[in-house]
A and B are shown apart, each in its own frame.
Chain A
Amino acid sequence: DIVMTQSPDSLAVSLGERATINCKSSQSVSYSSNNKKYLAWYQQKSGQPPKLLIYWASTRESGVPDRFSGSGSGTDFTLTISSLQAEDVAVYYCQQYYSTPPTFGQGTKVEIK
């Protein structure tokens, strides 16, 4: 199974500042033949189900604010929140879908400083 490791486990950021979450996979989740990166990001607010934010590493799901962006390739990926808002307080998960079983990172908790 591909192991997904996120860093940090938690971070506190001031309102309006940038938040950066890293995700590393134990093997590449990029497919060279189609240049696709099989990596998704989810946001889970307290007491709610996860919500898809980004897939193909950098494609924003419809309705997701453009302050959320994803980047990376191979084994190293990043979710950036360019200007943190109060409603962005949540746990964020990365997930690979390059191979079965799909696997998630352990989550990164984002709070307001």
Chain B
Amino acid sequence: EVQLVESGGGLVQPGGSLRLSCAASGFNFNSYEMNWVRQAPGKGLEWVSYISSSVSTIYYADSVKGRFTISRDNARNSLYLQLNSLRAEDTAVYYCARGGSGSYFFFDYWGQGTLVTVSS
């Protein structure tokens, strides 16, 4: 069974940093592209970042470019998102999502999410 379990969320002050983690199991992690998608409270879905299976390709949404860094450790079956220079508008549930088979940009499995709250 595919499982994605996020951790690392919490309350942080504006300008602060957090590191989110996603532990994957139940599939061959190093064969799949991975993504982070976020959802502000009561709002819709926003894709945040993508990393290819081999780490050769990385994309970011313009809203987080230069502040967030995606990475992965295939030996540990883990995905990460480093969040720096956080703003109030970054407050959201952050989901780890597996890329669809064939390396396409839809998301076939999602974690339960971890809440990041940016507030003073």
Interface residues of A (CB under 8 A from B): 38, 40, 42, 48-52, 55, 61, 93, 95, 97, 100-107
Contact = CB atoms under 8 A, between A and B. Distances in A.
Contacts of A106: 44
A50 B104 contact: no
Nearest to B50: A100
Interface of B: 44-47, 50, 59, 61-62, 95, 100, 104-113
Q: Is the interface of A mostly helix, strand, loop or mixed?
A: loop
A100 B59 contact: yes
B19 to A, nearest CB: 20
A30 B113 CA distance: 31
B106 A40 contact: yes
A50 B107 contact: yes
Contacts of A105: 44
